[in-house]
Amino acid sequence: MGAPIDRLTPLDRFMLATSEIWPQDIGALALLDGAVLLEPTDVFRIEAVRLAIRSRLHLVPRFRQLVHIPRRGLGPPLWADAPAFDLAQHVREFPLPAPGGEVELLRAVEHLRRQPLDPSRPLWQMWFLTGLPQQRIGLFVKLHHAVADGTAAMATVAALLDATPDASAEPVLPWTPAPTPTAGELLADNLRRRIEGLTGALAVLTRPRTTVRRMRAAWPAVREVVAQEPGPETSLDRVVGLDRNIALVRSSLGQVKQIAHRHDATVNDVLLAATAGGLRALLRSRGELVEDLVVPIYVPVSLRRGPSGPQQGNLIAQMVVPLPLGESDSGHRLRQIAAATAARKSRRRTSLGTLIRGPRIVRRLMLKAVLRQRVNATSASIPGPTRPLYLSGARLLEAFPVLPLVANEPLGIGALSYAGTFAIGITADRDAVPDIDVFAAGVRDALNALGASTPTAEEVRV
């Protein structure tokens, strides 16, 4: 008996289909202390880095797999080992143009983000961006959302890194691609899955009361995503294109935790409050009225139970949180958001994959419902490793998420907590948010205002 056939989930397939219109690649921009990765002549040691990554690839099997689409009747797409794999096609160097500052870095990231992943190869890329001052090296990692959600992606990339700067080099294990399942194996697997699905459906019919109770319990969370009153009309309600602007905001995890503790909130609540401050500043700068304005934002909810590791795909639900932009006091705004998220977290949630399970018409209706809701921003707060990580001895200093955008959501705000840092990456549709710097400044001002009203650890002890 061969290895189990690894089919893509309905949510993974939805993300692949959506990529035909809006690329669904998730990414991260990291900065490395690259002194040990540069020759005395400042030449980047690309082969040494590839060797370090190659020695860890057995921990991330998905990085040597691609999506195989069988012929009709043999079931949905599946993950299969690539017939051949060349790491040099996935790990590359990209020298920055002079003067090599943050402006050039972000332009390079957008250029690389814009390049589509080759479906004939595993769906990930890693670029080392050289030419930064102080021997810093940028690292831009991109993988398709079907490979992993944000939390799993963080764990996947972390599996390629070391916990100490002097970790001994691991031997490169031999790898031979497993054969793609035959047509007969795929047909048998597809029939088995159909029978299991029919059995499950019959089991549901035999327990109508239990089914109704579960549906009633889940309905408030489902209605929140697809049947809630649409958000207000603003200049952000635009269908996204292909080009992006990117901005970075830096903070410390310690300060964010202090703010959250003082206001009986969570780290994610603080990110949402800072996002509300950015939206308030952005819309006011455009001459739009924000008094009494409440706008919704999508917040993913992880359904994982236990530690996350590499190659876990997507297991998320969606939450819609109201952001009170009319509230000028940053502390009051945070407390309102914390109360709203606490109420929504108590609702029973189902995976997004469950909502789009079924024929293609279901996915189309789901997309229409999303467009109708007028939720024009999405957010994600990803907990990362608490201790520093290293690549070939080079310390990873900070990392910023680069979120995908879809439909009429032209603004994505992602935060990654890592080794004491709290790094916010802002991704915006270039046409809808050409003034991304105004939004980023509003986020910084909101964080600063919350920090100013929060006593430091020393003040608390006094």
400-455 pLDDT per residue, tens: 999 999 889 999 999 999 999 999 999 999 999 999 999 999 999 999 999 987 65
Average of per-residue pLDDT across 126-134: 96
Q: CB 118: neighbour CB atoms within 10 A?
A: 12
Over 80: is that where the pLDDT of 353 sits?
no
Over 50: is that where the pLDDT of 392 sits?
yes
Over 70: is that where the pLDDT of 363 sits?
no
Who contacts 451 (Cβ-Cβ below 8 Å, separation ≥6)?
255, 258, 259
Question: Position 397: which residue type?
Answer: L
Integer Cα distance of 29 and 176 in angstroms: 31
Integer Cα distance of 376 and 40 in angstroms: 48
Q: What is the pLDDT of residue 144?
A: 93
Question: Position 39: which residue type?
Answer: E
Q: pLDDT-based confidence at 356, cuts 50/70/90? A: low
Q: What is the pLDDT of residue 92?
A: 98
Average of per-residue pLDDT across 269-283: 98
Q: Spell out a b/e string for 289-320, using b for 16 or more CB atoms within 10 Å of the CB, else e.
A: ebeebbbbbbbbbbeeeeebebbbbbbbbbbb
Phi-psi region of 310 (alpha: psi -120 to 50; beta: other; left: phi over 0): beta
Answer yes or no: are the C-beta atoms of 75 and 197 closer than 8 Å.
no
Task: Single out the residue of 139, 121, 153 nearest to residue 25, CA to CA.
Answer: 153
Q: pLDDT-based confidence at 362, cuts 50/70/90? A: low
Q: What is the dihedral of CA 347, 351, 354, 360, to 10 degrees?
A: 120
Question: Position 18: which residue type?
Answer: T
Question: Position 457: which residue type?
Answer: A
Query: Could you give the angle at the alpha carbon of 19 between the alpha carbons of 28 and 315, nearest 5°?
Result: 65
Q: How many CA atoms lie within 13 A of 250 on its CB side?
A: 8
Task: Indicate the range of 43-52, 261-270, 305-314, 323-332 predicted with least confidence.
Answer: 305-314
Integer Cα distance of 82 and 105 in angstroms: 32
Answer yes or no: are the C-beta atoms of 351 and 315 closer than 8 Å.
yes
Over 70: is that where the pLDDT of 267 sits?
yes
Q: What is the pLDDT of residue 188?
A: 94
Answer yes or no: are the C-beta atoms of 157 and 28 closer than 8 Å.
yes
Q: CB 253: neighbour CB atoms within 10 A?
A: 20
Average of per-residue pLDDT across 4-23: 86
Q: What is the pLDDT of residue 461?
A: 32
Q: Spell out a b/e string for 324-346, using b for 16 or more CB atoms within 10 Å of the CB, else e.
A: bbebeebbebbbbbbebbeebee
Who contacts 365 (Cβ-Cβ below 8 Å, separation ≥6)?
none
Over 90: is that where the pLDDT of 376 sits?
yes
Place of tokens 């009429």: 408
Task: Single out the residue of 157, 156, 150 nearest to residue 316, CA to CA.
Answer: 150
In the chain, DSSP finds a helix count (H) and a strand count (E) of 13, 15
Over 50: is that where the pLDDT of 301 sits?
yes
For the chain, domains (ranges, CATH) are: 227-461 (3.30.559.30)
Over 50: is that where the pLDDT of 171 sits?
yes
Place of tokens 């949630």: 349
Average of per-residue pLDDT across 99-119: 96
Integer Cα distance of 170 and 174 in angstroms: 12
Q: Give the pLDDT confidence of 32-91 residue by residue, as tens digits.
A: 999 999 999 999 999 999 999 999 999 999 999 999 999 999 999 999 999 999 999 999
Integer Cα distance of 172 and 207 in angstroms: 53
Integer Cα distance of 230 and 295 in angstroms: 9
Integer Cα distance of 92 and 82 in angstroms: 19
